[in-house]
Chains A and B, each alone.
Chain A
Amino acid sequence: MSDALFEYALRMGDNCLILGHRVSEWCGHSPVLEEDIALANTALDLIGQTQLWLGLAGEIEGKGRSADDLAFLRDARAFRNLLLVERPNVDFAHTLVREVLFDVWHFHTLGALKGSSDARVAAIAEKALKEVSYHLQRSADLTVRLGDGTQESHDKMQAALNALWPYVGEMFLQDEVDAELADSGVGPALGVVKPLWDGDMRRLLDQATLKWPDISHVQKGGKDGVHTEALGYVLADMQFLQRAYPGAKW
C-alpha cells in the first residue's frame, strides 16, 4: 500500500507542480491585467498544493527526501504528471483549455479524495478542493465566454480543444496503483471520475458552443514517467539553481 500511495502522491504533486510552472510562465504577459492576477493566483495555489502532495510523498517514502528534493532533484523519467499539464502554453486558448480539461478532473478527483480512508490524503484534498473549485469556476466561465464570443475566439478555442483532446484519455486510464488505492479506500473508486467529467464537459462545451472533438486516440505515458519532449525543458528551467549549486540553501 505504501508504495502505491507514494506513487499516487507523486502523481498528484507532479500534476500541480508542472501545471503551476506552465501557468506561471504567463506572468506579466497575459491579455488583460485581471488575468495576470488570476493566473498568478492559480499558479500560487498549485505550488502550495505541490508542497503538500510531495511533502506527503517524501514522508511515505521515509528516505528523508523533502518536497523540494522531489521537485528539484528528479529527472524527467521519475516525474509522474499527466502529459496534458506539461503541454506548452502556445496561446491563451491552449492555456485555458488545458486548464479547464484538468480542472474538471481535478475537482472530481479531489472530491472523491476528501472521503479518503487516509486522513492525510483527506486533509490535503479538502484544502485543495476549496482552491480548485475556484479554478474551475474561472476556467469554465472563461471557456463559455470565449467559446461563445467572436468567431475568432470561438475558432481559437475549438482549435486548442482539438489539439489537446488526445491528452484527455490519460486522466482516466487506471493501473495497479489506482486499483490498489481504490481497494483500500485511500483513492477514488475505479471509474467514478470519468462519468462526472463527461457530464460536466458535455454541458460546458454545449454552453460554450464548442464541438466535442471526434478524436479517439490517446497519448499516454506520463503516469509511468514516459513524457513528451516538453518536460525536459520545463525541468531544465525549474531545476537550474539546485543543479548548478548542489547542496546550497536558499
Chain B
Amino acid sequence: MYAQLVKTDADRVKSIDEMDPQERTFQQRIDDNQKIEPKDWMPEGYRKTLVRQIGQHAHSEIVGQLPEGNWITRAPTLERKAILLAKVQDEAGHGLYLYCAAETLGISRDKMMDQLHAGKSKYSSIFNYPTLTWADIGAVGWLVDGAAIMNQVQLQRCSYGPYSRAMVRICKEESFHQRQGYDIMMKLCQGTPEQKEMAQDALNRWWWPSLMMFGPPDADSVHSAQSMAWKIKQATNDDLRQRFVDQTVPQAEYLGLKVPDPDVKWNEEKGGYDYGEVDWDEFYEVLKGNGPCNAERMHDRVKAWEDGAWVREGLVAHADKMAARAAATPVAAE
C-alpha cells in the first residue's frame, strides 16, 4: 500500500506468557481495542514500526503530488483544473496530518524529510509510474485512490490514536478523489473513439501497478503477523488486494473497459474474482529505484527541498528576530 513493506524488528510474535508485565498490559489494551496515545508506554518495536509506516505513508502523499501535478497546467477544462487542484491540495494536507501524527512518536518532520531524500525511507511504488495522458489522471483517481481507500478504511481502526484519527479525516476526502477519477474515465468512455482508447490504455498501464500497491503476499510474514497482533494493520495484503479486485472489475465493466488480465474470472465458490499472478520482480525493481520515474521523482523532491532552503531559513531568522525584539521591549504600562 502507501506503506508496502514495513519491517517490525520482530523475528517472531511473542506469546502473552513470554511478555514482561509492562508489555503484557500493553498487549491487553490492544486486545481490548483501546487506543494507544503518545504519552502511553509502548514497546520500542511498536514505536519504530509506526514511525516507518506513517513516514512511508506521508512521503507517498507528498511524492504523489508529482504525477498528478504533471497535468494541472494541461487539464482540459477550468472545472477539471479546479477539481484536480483541490485534490492535489488535499494530498499535501494528508502529508501534513501524517507528519504530525509521526511527530507524536518522537521523530521530527525534518528528520523524516532527510530520510526520504537520502533514499532511506520509501514511498509507494505506484508514484514511480508516469502520467502520460489525461486519462492517466482518471486512472490514478479511480485505481490509486481506490486502492488507497481500501487500505485506509481499515487503518481508521489502527491501535495508535493519532494515526487512526488522521485516517478518519483522510478517508473522508479520499472518496471524492476516487469519484473524480472515475468521472474522468466515464467522460472519456462516453467520448470519441480516441478518448475511449486513451482510457483503455491508461487502465492497461495502471492496473498491475495498482495491484502492487498492496505489497507482496504477506500471509506468512512475521512482520505482518506482528503488525496485526499490534493492530497496526487489520488485514493481510492479499485480503485487501482481493477486495480491491472485487470492487474494481465490475466498475471497469460498467465503463466498457477490459481489465488487462486474461485470468480475471468470477469464482462462485469464493464469492470473488480470480486473477493472474502479479509480476513481483517488477515491484522489487521499482522499490530498488529502477522504476520508470524513480530518478525524476527523487530529483524533483530533493531539488524542491534544496532550492527552498533559503526560504525556510529566512522564515526561521525572522521568527528569531521577532522573538528577540519582543524580549528586548519592556512590557508597556497600562
Contacts and interface: CB of A to CB of B under 8 A. Distances in A.
B78 A51 contact: yes
A145 B72 contact: no
Contacts of B318: 144-146, 148-149
Interface in B286-326: 300, 303-305, 307-319, 321
B93 interface: yes
Contact of A48 (B82, B88, B187, B191): B82
Contact of A31 (B72, B74, B85, B307): B307
Determine chain A's interface SS by DSSP, over half rule. helix
A145 B317 CA distance: 8
B61 to A, nearest CB: 9
A41 B96 CA distance: 15
Contacts of B311: 31-32, 35, 92, 146, 153
Interface residues of B, number: 53
Contact of A240 (B74, B85, B316): B74
Interface in A10-55: 17, 21, 24-25, 27-37, 40-41, 43-44, 47-48, 50-51, 54
A68 interface: yes
Contacts, number: 150
Could you say which of A48, A72, A237 has the most chain B C-beta atoms within 10 Å of its C-beta? Answer: A48
A241 interface: yes
Interface residues of A, number: 49
A25 B95 CA distance: 19
A97 B109 CA distance: 28
B308 A30 contact: yes
Contacts of B315: 32, 145-146, 149
Given A149-B315, A153-B317, A245-B194, A31 B78 contact: no
Contact of A250 (B69, B80, B309, B313): B80
A104 interface: no
Given A32-B311, A33-B92, A71 B78 contact: yes
Contacts of A29: 69, 300, 303-304
29 contacts: A27-B85, A28-B62, A28-B63, A28-B304, A29-B69, A29-B303, A31-B308, A32-B308, A32-B311, A35-B308, A40-B85, A41-B89, A43-B72, A44-B89, A51-B79, A54-B78, A67-B78, A72-B76, A92-B311, A145-B319, A146-B314, A146-B315, A149-B314, A149-B316, A150-B313, A156-B310, A238-B73, A241-B74, A249-B190
Given A29-B69, A31-B308, A47-B78, 6 more contacts: A28-B62, A29-B300, A35-B308, A48-B82, A50-B78, A153-B314
Interface of B: 62-63, 65-66, 69, 72-82, 85-86, 88-89, 92-93, 95-96, 99, 109, 134, 184, 187-188, 190-192, 194-195, 300, 303-305, 307-319, 321
Interface of A: 17, 21, 24-25, 27-37, 40-41, 43-44, 47-48, 50-51, 54, 67-68, 71-72, 91-92, 144-146, 148-150, 152-154, 156, 237-238, 240-242, 245, 248-250
